Amino acid sequence: MLNPDTHAFLTRLAGRPPVDEALWLEALTHGSTGAARDYQRLEFLGDRVLGMVVAEWLYKLEQGNEGRLSQRLNALVSRTTCAAVARKIGLGQHMQLGKQARDDGGQDSDNILGDVMEALIGASFVTQGFEATRDMVRVLWADAVGGKTGQAKHPKSALQEWAAGNRRKVPEYRLVERSGPDHAARFTVAVTVKGVGEAEATGSSMREAETLAAEEFMRRFG
């Protein structure tokens, strides 16, 4: 069952004591522990619930077209944003990790933090329903939605438009290196625009590395 600190953490998070403690514990449990059940199924569910909550929120909040709303939605439900929310509430110290995963820095891994954050949303949906979960997400994501997350053009789109505007070929991305264990993998990606140059960046996923490489390219050559 949940230890007292984690019980108090989840009570603050959900706004009420956790119902079905075993399910909430499952949401906090990484596969490296060897437990019979880990967070993956709840993460799958929570990902969809988060997308629905944020999509509804943006529909009511903003007047942008589909492309604009999709840009914001993708940024707000991204692993990077989920991990940032998780760090802000101190989720890492409550996650159940195996020794190797913990030694490898899993407690501060974007991949794991983002996944567990989604799993907690899934656990809330199962035990408390949509409305209570929507209220929880709106509190947790208030700063991101109220700020500039997803407001700027995505770096890969900006780079592609820059290349077209300068009569250059489409940017090409390639994986330079993949390192680290699966639960804390690091990807280094290079992006090249023929006749201009190349930039590299490293992230916790291919998508993040490509985005950071595009940002670096624009910083250097844009």
- What phi-psi label fits residue 211: left (phi over 0), alpha (psi between -120 and 50 degrees) or beta? alpha
165 and 139 in a common domain: no
Last residue of a domain, one of 98, 124, 146: 146
Q: d(Cα 203, Cα 211) in Å, to the nearest integer?
A: 9
Instruction: Name the residue range of residue 215's domain.
Output: 155-221
Is a pLDDT exceeding 90 seen at residue 1? no
How many domains does the chain fold into? 2
140 and 171 inside one domain: no
Q: Kindly state whether residues 43 and 124 are assigned to the same domain.
A: yes
Q: Which residues are catalytic?
A: 47, 118
Strands 172-179 and 197-203: unpaired
Q: What share of the chain is helix, strand, coil (3-state, %, to 5)?
A: 65, 10, 25
The type of residue at 109 is S
CATH at residue 165:
3.30.160.20
For 160-178, the pLDDT digits (tens) are 888 888 889 999 999 999 9
- Do residue 163 and residue 84 come from a single domain? no
Which of 122, 146, 170 is the endpoint of a domain?
146
pLDDT digits (tens, 9 = 90+) for 110-149: 999 999 999 999 999 999 999 999 999 999 999 999 987 7
